[in-house]
Amino acid sequence: MNLRFTPMTEADARDILAWRYEGQYATYNSPDPALGADFDALAELLDTRSPHFAVREQEQADAPPIGFFAYGSACEVGGAGTEGLDTPYLLRPDGSLTIGLGLRPDLTGQHRGLALVEDGLAFARERYQPSLFRLYVFSWNERALRVYKRAGFSSVGVTRITPPEGERVFIEMTRPV
């Protein structure tokens, strides 16, 4: 692994919550209105039951994060396959692990995402020994889809959610460990 993963601190979380993506990617800006006005984004980033990690270059331990990685229920979409589970959680009962991630806005589009994904999978393989990796990605997000396919993920389904802002369509992807 080339990147350095450290458990999310409050300072890192506040930094990441202030990130602002542009154009169509602005939908990833926090807070996400689809999660409701009462949703506490800071608390979610700091909840170790579905842990989030700040990611940095190895030699830049004191610099702001270049990305984040999340594991478990915080990354689930739609609820299928997780009925009856108490949240937050890390692994589903079948041992599979749902992941989420993001590069800092100014670093996107520079072919840095694949290294982040691969290191995030390696980190989780070692730390959590999942049976399978899963992720959900907006169907329109061709840039992310390309990176995930390159990292070995394949599409296994479509998940639609309908918050007040309008329907959102996600591709569910999995990859063997």
Ligand X SMILES: CC(C)(COP(=O)(O)OP(=O)(O)OC[C@H]1O[C@@H](n2cnc3c(N)ncnc32)[C@H](O)[C@@H]1OP(=O)(O)O)[C@@H](O)C(=O)NCCC(=O)NCCS
Judged by the rule CB under 6 A, the positions of this chain that interact with ligand X are 21, 25, 28, 102-103, 108-114, 116, 137, 141-144, 146-147
Residues 29 and 36: their CA atoms lie apart, in Å, by 14
Nearer to ligand X, 90 or 144 (CB): 144
In the complex with ligand X, which residue's Cβ is closer, 28 or 89?
A: 28
* Sheet (strand 3-7) strand order: 3-7, 52-57, 67-71, 96-103, 132-138, 168-176, 154-161
Beta strands in 8-119 (DSSP E): 52-57, 67-71, 96-103
**Which position's Cβ is nearest ligand X?**
113
Distance CA 31, CA 33 (A): 6
For ligand X, the closer CB: 57 or 93: 57
Q: Where are the beta strands (DSSP E) in 19-122?
A: 52-57, 67-71, 96-103
* Shortest spacing between CB 173 and ligand X, in angstroms: 9
CB of 19 to ligand X, least distance (A): 9
> Letter for the amino acid at 85?
L
Minimum CB separation from ligand X for residue 84, in Å? Answer: 25
Nearer to ligand X, 93 or 169 (CB): 169
Least distance from ligand X to the Cβ atom of residue 88, Å: 19
